[in-house]
Structure 1
């Protein structure tokens, strides 16, 4: 999967760009901008057709020369705003792109913590984890704590990153070489954006790690309505899970896990269906079910579960370990060397 944005031939090492989606953050945006340190090379504020004109407000009241205001003609959601910022940063030659919100919940002093592992070659993408310090969890509203725990479990299945937590955390950083390979037009643009990003990164086999952080809760107003998006989240997680399994285990590669999954499903479903059928038949007729029938159903269910658990174990251990941006650079170097050898031969 590739994007339509091409990165410059030479990105200056250490160029950190910050992307800030701006929608109804007028009361906090100036404080966020003021807290961004000198390690940041450029700042992109994306006014997502904000009714409060947060972009205009920042432009009129902040004199930081690093700041660029990007405006949307229509509201695209947080995902759409971030993709706009990614594309602008790639065009300008950023190496690492950090995304923070403009509502003051994310501490800009942590930007170096998020960019560091990427610049050091340890990761392609970093994201915040507010659950790392158990003492700090107590400060999190209970409804958010429960919701994030449930979403984390679903995201592990759909994204394949079993070692990550707090999937909806919007404090993230990405290497520009990896960002330019994202399918910008296909990534979810609204509240499913963060978890959909993890799915897309897994299909690229990018290395993702959590960065411990503390949440900051103030007088910001959330636009998220849980009752309106829960069914959407369940559907999209299920869709991404099926896509990921197909991409990773049947389209891109074929392993023993590719065989264990369908066999396990068939044995488990058939065994369960066979057992339920004969149990209901015995209930209607009053006749006992033959022991052989019971054993056949139980054996099929147990063997099927064993195959499925083996597949799950393989999937958990199949987390990307080698950074994508290092592989892309090595591929580029090899291509350049090959071209030079070809020119020398001619």
Structure 2
């Protein structure tokens, strides 16, 4: 059975239309009122007669991630098979739900997510600030999540097999705007197969609560933290490969070469004495070797993206 989770916060203008557009393939619709000051949950309760709708309430605002996780837990408890998450602001077309769940039903993926960058003509409709921000975040997230084959990581249109929900540490996943990226990081740790689904976004009169200046430093710190944890888990704790040695030796050689070279360059500037060729080589050779090893590690990491669904093994 397929369930839909709709986190609700200031979406009273769109939420009823979103629910009405959800097709008969969906068995449950979990509307999560995240302490909405506009009373989104109350509006649905009073105006919607769809028997599939179940309203879940938060006494305090927990953020989009917290709302989605509440829906995930409820879907798991009620024995759903796949949970689709869409926003209540009308940006995501519910008619695409079948496309999102198909790869999971076929056993080709464990988790699917939208990608608004497939159609280059359609992305012209995306506001310039969002376009640039999403592109930059996607590039950084490729390394921190380990999913080099996907893009548009902040896209919140997703679908997941319930079996994975039971194996994810939901309490450790971010409750706020970092939720989608943090989910991908956790999915990579359990080696889940993630697939992009092409989609077009709709930008009407909705207002985003996300301010780039407010989350830039927070996102940067979390990306660095997740990158270190992912590499440690996958290449040193769970398994060790040639890539593990390439990373260690690459950091060692590159670090030594750069530090030694800068030291000698500073010495040359202060004394006016040119550095001997042997000194130059002693700085250049480790730097080049270290860089080559680091590039070899990245190449291995790119080829190591999970490509087989694990849902049948859970």
Aligned match of 1:98: 84
Residues in 1 aligned to 2:87 and 2:232: alpha-carbon distance in whole angstroms: 34
Residues in 2 aligned to 1:188 and 1:316: alpha-carbon distance in whole angstroms: 25
Q: What CA deviation, in whole Å up to 9, does each residue of 1:137-188 have, x standing for no partner?
A: 1111111110011000110010000010000000000000011111111100
Query: Which structure 1 residue ranges, 5 or more long, are not aligned?
Result: 1-14, 329-346
Is structure 2 residue 55 aligned with structure 1 residue 77?
no
Is structure 2 residue 125 aligned with structure 1 residue 130?
no
Report matched runs for 1:7-18 at 5 Å: 15-18=1-4
The structure 2 residue matched to 1:26, chosen from 12, 22, 38, is 12
Residues in 2 aligned to 1:113 and 1:320: alpha-carbon distance in whole angstroms: 21
Which structure 1 residue ranges, 4+ long, deviate > 2 Å from structure 2? none
Aligned match of 1:282: 268
Residues in 2 aligned to 1:262 and 1:95: alpha-carbon distance in whole angstroms: 42
SS at match of 1:268: helix
Is structure 2 residue 62 aligned with structure 1 residue 62?
no
Residues in 1 aligned to 2:310 and 2:41: alpha-carbon distance in whole angstroms: 34
Report matched runs for 1:170-189 at 5 Å: 170-189=156-175
The structure 1 residue matched to 2:251, chosen from 252, 257, 265, is 265
Residues in 2 aligned to 1:156 and 1:86: alpha-carbon distance in whole angstroms: 25
Query: Which structure 2 residue ranges, 5 or more long, are not aligned?
Result: none
Q: What CA deviation, in whole Å up to 9, does each residue of 1:270-320 have, x standing for no partner?
A: 000101100110110011100011011111100000100000000000011
Taking structure 2 as the reference length, the TM-score comes to 0.99
Q: By how many angstroms is 1:105 displaced?
A: 0.2
Aligned match of 1:300: 286
Q: By how many angstroms is 1:327 displaced?
A: 1.7
Residues in 1 aligned to 2:269 and 2:170: alpha-carbon distance in whole angstroms: 56
Residues in 2 aligned to 1:179 and 1:118: alpha-carbon distance in whole angstroms: 14
Aligned match of 1:229: 215
Q: What CA deviation, in whole Å up to 9, does each residue of 1:94-139 have, x standing for no partner?
A: 1000000000000000000001100010000000000001111111
Residues in 2 aligned to 1:87 and 1:183: alpha-carbon distance in whole angstroms: 12
Aligned match of 2:151: 165
Aligned match of 1:143: 129
SS at match of 2:60: coil
SS at match of 1:52: coil
SS at match of 2:160: strand
Residues in 1 aligned to 2:111 and 2:165: alpha-carbon distance in whole angstroms: 9
Taking structure 1 as the reference length, the TM-score comes to 0.90
The structure 1 residue matched to 2:237, chosen from 227, 248, 251, is 251
Q: By how many angstroms is 1:224 displaced?
A: 0.6
The structure 1 residue matched to 2:96, chosen from 97, 103, 110, is 110
